[in-house]
Structure 1
């Protein structure tokens, strides 16, 4: 399966490299666009859930790396939940 990495910028300026086992990320995010924190987390849940299920359909098991990436996004996002104007920018795909 083709994988996709996507680099993001958190509200505090920190950047993170994220992983998806599927190109489906491109259906949910646009490079250069900033998303409200909760919107970004929800889109990540949907996209990485679909990506994991695509792995299951092909190999018979869910993708633990996609689920781990989602868990990391959720943990990192929790730091900014008290900031109503918090956004996450998708910098690029690779």
Structure 2
């Protein structure tokens, strides 16, 4: 399976390089696009969930790295939970 990374910028201007075991993230996120935090979280939950299930279908087990990545994203997002207009920008894929 092709692995990809997606880079995001958080509302405090910090950046994170995120992992996906599948290119499916490209169906949910667009480089250069800013998403309100709840929308970004919903999109990444769905994309990484699908990616993990693709690993399960191919190898017989879910992708723990995808779930670890999702947990990290959700942990970082908690810092901005009280900011109703907080946005996350997808910078690029690689």
**Common fold, TM-score beyond 0.5?**
yes
State the Cα deviation string for residues 51-83 of structure 1 (Å, max 9, x = none). 000000000000000000000000000100100
* TM-score with structure 1 setting the length: 0.99
Q: CA RMSD in A?
A: 0.3
- Separation in 2 of the partners of 1:78 and 1:42? 14
Alignment length (residue pairs)? 94
Show the counterpart of 1:54.
Answer: 54
Show the counterpart of 1:24.
Answer: 24
* TM-score with structure 2 setting the length: 0.99
Instruction: List structure 1 segments (4+ residues) > 6 angstroms apart after TM superposition.
Output: none
Show the counterpart of 2:11.
Answer: 11
- Separation in 1 of the partners of 2:74 and 2:42? 9
- Separation in 1 of the partners of 2:38 and 2:77? 8
Unaligned runs of 5+ in 2: none
Matched, 1:33 2:18: no
Unaligned runs of 5+ in 1: none
CA drift at 1:39: 0.4
